[in-house]
Amino acid sequence: MSEEARRPGRRWRGGGCSGGCASVVVVLTLGLLLSIFSAAIGIGVSVRVPFTSNINVTLAGSVGKKDKAPDALPSYVHGKLGGNQNFVNGSQTLTIWVAEGDVIFVVGQQEAAPLIDLHLEAR
C-alpha cells in the first residue's frame, strides 16, 4: 500500500476566498487610484430572455469614487442597486473610505434595455 493511500485527510481544497477577497483587492487598489482622479469605470453585459418583451439578464459592475461608481453602471439598472423590484436582484456594494465597488445581477424587467448589450464606461 502506498503512503498516499494510507494518509487520511490532507487533500488540497483550492483557494479560500472564492471571489470575495478579489473585490477587496480591486476596491483597495483600483478604486482608491480612481478616487484620486475623481473617476469610475463600469462594465456590464445584458441579454434579453427569449420570447419575452422586456425581461433581461444583466450582470454589471463598477469601481471608483464613491459618488461616481453607481453612475458608471448601465442606465437600465440605475435605481435597481439594492432594490427588490425584480425576479432576481443580487447586488453587492463594498465601500472603503472614498472608494466604492458595486456588482449587480438582475433577472427581470429592465426598461430601455437592448436585446444584447456590452456596456463599458469611464466617468
| Position 100 pLDDT exceeds 50 | yes
Structural domain harbouring 97? 39-123
Please report whether residue 63 resides in a domain.
yes
pLDDT at 9 over 70: no
Q: What is the pLDDT of residues 40-97, one digit of tens each?
A: 999 999 999 998 888 999 999 999 999 999 999 999 888 888 888 788 888 888 898 8
Residue 12 has pLDDT above 60, yes or no: no
Domain-located, residue 51 = yes
pLDDT above 50 (res 7) = yes
> Does some domain include residue 21?
no
Domain count along the chain: 1
DSSP per-residue codes, the chain: --HHHH--S------SSTTHHHHHHHIIIIIHHHHHTT-EEEEEEEEEPTT-SSEEEEEEEEEEETTTTGGGS-GGGTT-TT---SSEEEEEEEEETTEEEEEEEEEEE-TT--SEEEEEEE-
Task: Tell whether 101 is covered by a domain.
Answer: yes
In a domain, 3, yes or no: no
In a domain, 54, yes or no: yes
